Amino acid sequence: MVGIAPSDAANFLAGAVFVPYTLQPLLQRTGDLLNSPDSPWLSIAGRLRPGYSRDDARSELETILRQQDRAYLDRQISVFNRKTSLVLTNGSFIQHPAFRDRVVALMVLILGPLSLVLLLACSNVTMLFLSRTIARRGDVAVRLALGVGRARLLCMLLFESSATALAAGVVSVFLAYRVPMLIMDAIDPSQSRAVPLMHPDWRVFAYLAVLVLVATLASSVAPMHAAWKLDLVSELKGRESSATTRSGTTNFLIVAQIAMSFVLITAAVLFERVPSIVTGMDPGFETRHTLQVPLEIDTSGTRRSSDLAFYRALQARILALPGVQSVAYESLPPFRQMPPSEIRLATEKKGEGRPASVDNVSTDFFSTFAIRRIAGRGFQTSDSDQNGNSAAVAIVSQAFAKQFWPDLNPLGQIVVTPAEKKLTVIGVVADTRSEQFGVLDGPRLYTLRELTALDGQLYVRFTGSTTFIETPSEME
């Protein structure tokens, strides 16, 4: 250890260790990303030199990106044109093109109900102040009769409202510091320190101060108006007057509270239905009884035989656990978009194909994820020889079959991969929603994973609860 960084530099983590990025192969055993220029995994931060503007940096970065796009095609990774775009923002999430729509939607969903709750609270406080003013009508009438000016009475009522708002503001600031920690303590005490330290920002403070001031003035208008309309003769005699009866302001506040309460109840019912809608949506594959097993194994060395033995032993131990039905591998993790590959027919030349996602899966993949087979057959153990090499067979999705052979039977057709490998289609499976939640995937080609492969994501299909699945101590 050569130094200590401030807590704010830890990327909102309770603790962090900074190491040179060149140590990636030693710390992450998922491959040497330093030699994979087409696998983005680093975030770059820079500082402008004196005399240079952000536009200068942007023009230079665009030149570098165009060179990288040309190099991407020169490496023949894909025949599809890749054009990287550069967007200049101030660093906020709402200006990020990939997050803008989602951030705006979340702000509407969060700030909308909060604004209604704030308005409802202001109307409640206004009603309380109004009721208190009516209850003190005799006291106010005596003050006015003794010669107290209405301006001074106005200042008195405004001071009462401001004192209440100031006390509430102090309490809210304290709660803003403490509530996140209390919530994390209730959820998981071990992660309570992961709550980032909150530092006051004068811009946020100014915005909240203006908001509280406006709310205070709005809450004070009705009591001031009621005090202004007092009939001194009737109030000093202790008789009811028109000012003590229900006024138009009171009626408006009651109607506003009922309307906002109805909107909040409706929104609460809709939010309550959101989890059921999300969990009830069919992605086309099993998610409730499927677990992903993270594997961080160094497969870059010369220990291929021992690594393969470990994979087989691990798979056997997992299958021996009670409740486990099957295990499977795939190269494309669910709910993550990956660059498509060019797939073409046997009669097409390179560059004439169409984009499709290629997923390298094991024999039990479709049964593990309960993906429905439409036609043909699935992968079988006999599709691999004694050395573990896979036969030249493939399974396609419905979207793939409709795009490549809209009027023909896809079974028995030949497709060519970017590696110039010809595969025979032996089956068609149903489309899934595995790339974007709720959106049907595009054309998808499933290839058979070799038995000697040491890559891919490991998944386990089980029955019952997940609490029974524990890593055997011998395998840790």
460-472 pLDDT, tens per residue? 999 877 565 554 4
Q: How many CB atoms lie within 10 A of CB 370?
A: 13
pTM for this predicted structure: 0.64
Q: Which of 87-91, 211-215, 396-400, 417-421 has the highest mean pLDDT?
A: 396-400
- End-to-end CA distance of the chain: give it in Å, rounded: 28
Q: Give me the chain's average pLDDT, please.
A: 79
Higher-confidence residue: 131 or 155? 155
Residue 333: pLDDT band by 50, 70, 90 thresholds? confident
The residue ranking higher by pLDDT, 230 or 453, is 453
Unique residue bearing structure tokens 């079959």: 401
If pLDDT is split at 50, 70 and 90, which confidence band does 300 have?
low
- Residue 210's CB is within 10 A of a number of other CB atoms, namely 10
pLDDT > 90: percent of the chain: 20
The residues spanned by each domain of the chain are: 7-88, 100-278, 290-475
pLDDT tier, 24 (very low <50, low <70, confident <90, very high otherwise): confident
User: 327, 364 in Cβ contact below 8 A?
Assistant: yes
Which residues are CB-neighbours of 213 under 8 A, at least 6 positions away?
Answer: 165
376 bridge partner residues: 427
What band does 269 get if pLDDT is binned at 50, 70 and 90? confident
What distance in Å separates the CA atoms of residue 102 and residue 106, rounded to the nearest whole number? 6
Q: Which among 176, 255, 242, 234 has a CA at the least distance from the CA of 208?
A: 176
pLDDT band at 330 (very low <50, low <70, confident <90, very high): very high
Phi, psi of 397 (to 5 degrees): -85, 170
Mean pLDDT of 401-430: 93
State mean pLDDT over 263-292.
81
d(CA 131, CA 124): 10
pLDDT higher at 264 or 63: 63
pLDDT for res 249: 64
Residue 177 to residue 184: CA distance in whole angstroms: 12
Of the pLDDT bands very low, low, confident and very high (cuts 50, 70, 90), residue 77 is low
Structure token pair of residue 163: 């004192």
For 318, residues 6+ apart whose C-beta sits below 8 A from its C-beta are 293, 324, 327, 460
The mean pLDDT of 305-331, rounded to a whole number, is 89
